[in-house]
Structure 1
Amino acid sequence: MKNSILLLFFFYTTFGFSQKISSFILNKEQIVQLEADGLSDFPIYRAYEFQNKTGVCELVLCENQKSISKKDTLNTKIQAICAMNDHGGFRERWRINDLIDTAEAEKNIWFWTKYFSAQDLDGDGYMDPVIVYGTRDENDEIKRVKIITVYKDKKYAIRAVECDLDDCRSFKKDANWKLLPQKIQVYINQLVVKIRKEQNLLLKDG
């Protein structure tokens, strides 16, 4: 199975992307194998493989998928894990954990995979994953949004709270945000604009 993944990666990089660093989505069978290998604590919702100067890595997005009916599920916890293939096993590089805030009446938390990115944003030969997720309340309204950029295995987050009232609305960048390369900052700022438009969100302070 590992050999087939590596061959698929070779095809994508050599013929599809002119040897540029890239990522691809793993199929259901490959995801089942990752779960069997014990890579995740929860069911894997989506999994990616990418390669950069440090080697081949798996990035899994996991949601605990609590059933509320036969046709519907809600997530109370999520987890993102990046691990490197290491002699037939996995060596974790970083992870993200989050869960709903019941005090704020949050009922669901999930990854917004349409805004996920695994690219070399600044051209240094390393992947710079961008992971976006949000929460909804019991009225199905978006409460929180997080945009987390991982640069050289360090996390840089934007944390937003949506609210009808000015004093409970917020949009904060981590204190280390300015340490990100300018190209990455520009990409994330453009992503914020896109999310505002497509999700009809304010994403601002006050």
Structure 2
Amino acid sequence: MKNICTFIFLTLFSFTAIAQSDTTSRILDKTETDEFFNDAFKKKNLITFPIFRAYTYKDKSGTYYVALTESADSVNKLKDTVNNKVKAFNFKVDKGVSLKKWEINDFKTPDLKGVEKETSIWFWTKYCQFKDIDGDGLVDPIIVYGTFGPNGYDDGRAKTILFYKGQKVVIRHQNGVLDNERKTQVDLTFYALPAKIQDHVKQILATMVEKKHAIFPSAYEEKMSKKVTQIGN
């Protein structure tokens, strides 16, 4: 009986490993990026900003290409590129035809009466991921981007976007020097996601705090924990 159970366990483990091995992702180099996102393709799909980074990933539903684009409006005194807008595109390649699956558009907060509220917006690629988080054979793309305020990260914004089986789930966060300036808005659909995905996203947010890219109020952390506990029950 013990041997039978062991065999079943190993069989299931092997099946899971095979299923997960079918899910891959990688960053495209410049040559690959220019080949797929050529001038004609960009014109057809209204990709007008420079491509900052491009990815491809494959899962059981097909092969996909993602472009993260930034407006690159100017260069500041520190020789950093300043962006007023960002856009992301996801295309599925099916029988030689590229179909757009989703698009992200955002921009830095406009100046108010000549006062600059935010200096730039850009993709935080160190947090962007294309992984099969819950092991269902489908990649769960996570796109993260944010802004600089007058005090850098301390009063900028951060936005985390997850695509789960075609559903867009967003966590919006405003950093602030003072406690009452910090605000976090979580889509209610986040709490209906599998616990493994919720935990994964929360770990990304925790890393953002550790790296001083985000400051979350304790009330938000307590709320997240309570919500997850309630879903689990």
TM-score tier (shorter): 0.7 to 0.9
Range with greater deviation from structure 2 (160-169 or 63-72): 63-72
Q: Which has the higher strand share?
A: 1
Residue 5 of structure 1: aligned partner? none
Q: Which has the higher helix share?
A: 2
Shift of 1:86: 3.3
Residue 206 of structure 2: aligned partner? 193
The 1:98/1:66 distance shift into structure 2, 3 A limit, reads: same
Cα distance in structure 2, aligned partners of 1:157 and 1:100: 17
Query: What SS does structure 1 have at the residue aligned with 2:93?
Result: strand
Cα distance in structure 2, aligned partners of 1:178 and 1:35: 39
Q: Does 1:63 align with 2:60?
A: no
Calculate the TM-score normalised by the size of structure 1: 0.84
- Identity, in percent, stands at 36
Residue 26 of structure 2: aligned partner? 24
Residue 148 of structure 1, aligned match among 161, 175, 188? 161
Range with greater deviation from structure 2 (90-99 or 32-41): 32-41
Query: What SS does structure 2 have at the residue aligned with 1:80?
Result: strand
Cα distance in structure 1, aligned partners of 2:64 and 2:33: 14
Residue 125 of structure 1: aligned partner? 137
Runs of 5+ consecutive residues of structure 2 not aligned to the other structure: 1-18, 221-233
Residue 90 of structure 1: aligned partner? 98
Cα distance in structure 2, aligned partners of 1:140 and 1:189: 23
Shift of 1:88: 3.2
Deviations 1:44-83 (A, max 9, x none): 1111111112211101111111123694420111111111
CA contact (8 A) 1:158 1:173 kept: yes
Count of residues paired in the alignment: 190
The 1:35/1:109 distance shift into structure 2, 3 A limit, reads: farther
Shift of 1:27: 0.8
Calculate the TM-score normalised by the size of structure 2: 0.75
Cα distance in structure 2, aligned partners of 1:194 and 1:95: 26
Residue 182 of structure 1, aligned match among 195, 213, 217? 195
CA contact (8 A) 2:26 2:56 kept: yes
Query: What SS does structure 2 have at the residue aligned with 1:183?
Result: helix
Shift of 1:165: 2.2
CA contact (8 A) 2:153 2:213 kept: no
Residue 48 of structure 1, aligned match among 55, 68, 76? 55
Q: Does 1:162 align with 2:170?
A: no
Larger Rg computed on CA atoms: 2
Deviations 1:112-152 (A, max 9, x none): 11111100001111100111111002443441011111101
CA contact (8 A) 2:176 2:182 kept: yes
